[in-house]
Amino acid sequence: MSHSRLALLAALVLLAAYVWGNSQPEAAGLIPPPWDKLAHMAWYAILASLLSMGLGRRAWPWVLVGTLLLGGWDEWHQFALPGRFPGVDDWVADALGVMVGIAMSHAIWRHMDQTPSR
């Protein structure tokens, strides 16, 4: 299996776990502030990096838009969940994570371009 397919598979598994986990009311307060923002950033950085690696270098605008929409949907979705509250601050943490993830994937590509193949 190619690296890009493996990255897409990992992103799909991550997304499935995310959708399932975020629909659980028990997720409220699982990670206390301010650490919840770090969790938002880390999760979105990993997702954006996997999607970027899986879809290719030129897909970064689609990854950016798609993951930002996902973060917005997640915050909006929390209106319907007992004990959960949407927040612009969470979405900003998501957005920062997305930018970090896309930058990480581009750094990996640059490194791979400079590494001689065997």
Tens of pLDDT, residue by residue over 38-63, are 999 999 999 999 999 999 999 999 99
Beta strands in the chain (DSSP E): none
- Residue-wise DSSP of 26-37: GGTTSS-TTHHH
Nearest to 31 by CA among 80, 73, 77, 93: 93
Span 63-111, pLDDT tens digits: 999 999 999 998 898 888 777 788 999 999 999 999 999 999 999 989 8
The parent domain of residue 108 ranges over 3-24+33-114
Q: What is the pTM of this model?
A: 0.89
Task: Report the distance separating Cα 95 and Cα 35, nearest Å.
Answer: 16
- The structural domain count of the chain equals 1
